[in-house]
Structure 1
């Protein structure tokens, strides 16, 4: 069981639960299926419904683990530590050895203990995953086909040409998610751009049709960041100088083009997590 583990990621540290609780054994974790939320409307005298936007509610992640102690006192100490570890004043990420490349943003769980004998106990911890989706453990800043943090079966494909930093006007961005990455659903998507454009430029995702336009002159020594729906030039909000649009990423490959007279691309970097249902 040495290869089975469970860890928490708070705002300032990673906690290995086995290291904190002597004798703890991670048994398994099972997420519930997605819960769809519809906004359909019915109209009197009209057949059927008018379909609205579909979203996803939080779902549950059931984690089972056991503790083998030496005596009753050691079990009491272990439970005291578990109460401290899993109950916090802020939400945190949970990840585990069954799916080591996936993390879940959870709130404090409901824990149900079952005493096996005087020196062992089995516990079920029921976590609510607040986002309604799970995410890749790492962002694309740390993308590597050779890294243990990225899993095949969770959007990873054997394409050595995948990269998230580009220096040309035409390029591809691979989204290994099982959903469109969009800031509207609070998915992280940060696009950092160093571009020389005497008359402004447009970043066009030809796959989705999205266009983000910066209307003024910009030099490649400036840094323009599109953080979700919020644009910043040299750390100053610059929405007034844009078309007030944002970029999304479809599943799979997205074809991009930088448009504009005299445009030269020094560097464009995409930072995001893959998201999963």
Structure 2
């Protein structure tokens, strides 16, 4: 059986990687990804026609895949079915990585029962739905992972580690990377006095009223602010740095040469 163009792999949290074709001898006959479901929160105003939209929220979306399974005889096919039950265990969360776009992945859980429609005693077909609770399709790696495996949508020479006062950070995704919801880690190494990190594109400013010396590191990990592993949240302005889609222009003040700042995050796509 040849490999389908819709073929994909499953990556479990423990590192186990299963290829639908190579490991399970499955033909993926279709793989359907819809756009995210959404809710518009609206309000009507007395004396005014129509409604105004107050907010739009994205909901989890469902991905559907259809498969053809076969084996050499009925006994082996029965064993094959049992193995499919193990692989598509609804209790386990995993990543789906499609051969068509190996640089992107979907975090999913099985959302339907696996019920094979037997064509013969040795082969059959079935369809599964996968629930993508996180809504977004994400990059398979992060910006500081050299094996993230895909080209970004810009001709600029993108870098995610800098040692100058002004620099740029490219967000290849479709949405704002927000540390309250998404993985993003900033790491500053070096000496500083009243360190300020400003995203000139979004207007976000993070500041620290303390000092650092050579060998110290400041880490902004999600909503946490750490110096050498200990919280410094109370000495900051209690703000966060977000990244808009596309190029983000930054200015850093209070840093004393030599210093280094790096940005580690995943790209999020619709």
Gaps of 5+ in 1: none
Deviation by residue 1:55-78 (Cα, 9 ceiling, x = unmatched): 210001112222121122222111
Residue 275 (str. 1) matches residue 268 (str. 2)? yes
> Structure 2 CA distance, aligned partners of 1:143 and 1:50?
45
Equivalent position to 1:193, from 188, 195, 199? 188
Cross-structure match for 1:229: 223
Name the CA shift for 1:263/1:125 in 2 (closer, same or farther; >3 Å).
same
**Counterparts of residues 114-263 of structure 1 (less than 5 Å):** 114-143=117-146, 149-151=149-151, 155-159=152-156, 161-184=157-180, 186-198=181-193, 200-260=194-254, 263=256
Of 26-35 and 11-20, deviating more is 11-20
Q: What's 1:52 paired with?
A: 54
| Aligned counterpart, 2:31 | 29
More strand by share: 2
The 3 A distance-change label for structure 1 pair 53 and 228 is farther
Deviation at 1:157, TM superposition (A): 2.9
- Structure 2: distance between partners of 1:45 and 1:92: 51
Per-residue deviation, 1:126 = 0.4
1:20 Cα offset (Å): 3.9
Alignment partner, residue 95 of structure 2? 93
Q: Is the 8 A contact 2:11 2:18 kept in 1?
A: no
Partner of 2:13: 11
- Give the total of aligned pairs: 266
**Is 2:34 aligned against 1:41?**
no
The 1-side partners of 2:71 and 2:155 are apart by 44
Bigger CA drift: 134-143 or 108-117?
Answer: 108-117
1:143-199 deviations in Å (ceiling 9; x for gaps): 57xx7x215xxx43343x211111111110011001111123x2211111113113x
Which deviates more from structure 2 when the two are superposed, residues 41-50 or residues 208-217?
A: 41-50
Distance 1:83 1:43 in 2: 53
Q: Give the whole-Å Cα distance in 2 for the aligned partners of 1:250 and 1:240.
A: 26
Give the conservation status (yes or no) of the 8 Å contact 1:172–1:255: yes
Output one character per residue of 1:204-234: Cα deviation in whole Å (capped at 9) or x when no partner. Answer: 0001111011111112411111112221111
Question: In the alignment, what sits opposite 1:107?
Answer: 109
Q: Which runs of 5+ in 2 are unaligned?
A: none
RMSD of the alignment, in Å?
A: 2.1
Is the Cα contact below 8 Å between 2:206 and 2:238 reproduced in 1?
Answer: yes
Q: Secondary structure at the match of 1:263?
A: strand
Q: How far 1:112 moved relative to its partner?
A: 4.2
